[in-house]
Amino acid sequence: MNRFHHWYCRSGHWRLKLQSEILPWAVNGLQLAAMAPALEIGPGPGLTTEWLCEHGAGPACLEIDPGLALDLRRRLGAAGVRVYIGDATQMPFDEGRFSIVLAFTMLHHIPSRALQDRMFREAYRVLQPGGILAGVDSSDSWLLRLFHIGDRMLPLVPSELPARLEAANFANVQIDIRGERFRFLAYRPPARVH
C-alpha cells in the first residue's frame, strides 16, 4: 500500500466509517457469534478484526504482510485471535475448517483476475459444507484509483462476481450494491445425505 493508504487504513476516520457503516451492512443478517470458527482474510492493520471481536466473532486471520500480521498478533493475540502469515490464494488450512470466511475491502488488492478466482476456490475449500463466504469491497472509480496510486489494485466488477463465484462451486450468490461499494454472500452447499 502507498503511504497515504497505509496511514488512512489505521485512521480514526476509517475506523468510524467501518464500524458505523461498512461492516454492519456487510454482515447484516449473519449471526457472527454463532459462526465459529471464522476466518478473516487480509485484515491489514486489524480494524475489522477488532470490530469482529467486539461482535462475538474472534476470528482466525490470514495476512500476507508479515509486519501487519505480527502487529495484529501482538495486539489481539490475548483476545484469542489467531493470526497466520500467508497468502489467501494458497491458504495453509485443511479443507472444511471454517464455517465462515470474511473478506473486507481487500479483494481489489489481489493483483490479477486469475489470483482472485484462485482465492475464491481456496475460500470454498476451507469452508465447511453449508459455510458462507461474506464480505464487502469497492467498485471501480476515479477516487478509488487516486487513493491507490502506486498500489497493486484490480477492482472487481460486481455484475461479474456471481458467475465467478459459481465457477468456484459456490451457490446462492447474493450481491448488493450501495453507492461505491458492494457486499457479497456465497454459500458452500451442504453435504448431500445419501
pLDDT value of residue 137:
92
Q: Which pLDDT band holds residue 150 (cuts at 50, 70, 90)? A: low
3-class SS string, 99-131: EEEEEECCHHHCCCHHHHHHHHHHHHHHEEEEE
pLDDT value of residue 57:
75
Domains of the chain in start order, with CATH, are 3-17+35-187 (3.40.50.150)
Measure CA 172 to chain center: 18
pLDDT value of residue 15:
82
Residue 192 has pLDDT above 90, yes or no: no
Residue 32 per-residue DSSP state:
G
Kindly report, residue by residue over 3-45, the tens digit of the pLDDT.
656 666 677 777 898 888 999 999 999 988 888 899 999 999 8
Kindly report, residue by residue over 41-86, the tens digit of the pLDDT.
999 989 999 999 888 777 899 999 999 999 999 998 888 899 999 9
Q: Shortest CA distance to 115 belongs to which of 143, 146, 140, 152?
A: 152
Residue 108 has pLDDT above 90, yes or no: no
The answer, yes or no, to whether the previous bond of 155 is cis (omega within 30 of 0) is: no
pLDDT value of residue 194:
62
pLDDT value of residue 11:
72
- Report yes or no on whether pTM surpasses 0.95: no
SS3 180: coil
pLDDT value of residue 40:
96
- What percentage of residues in the chain have a pLDDT greater than 70? 88
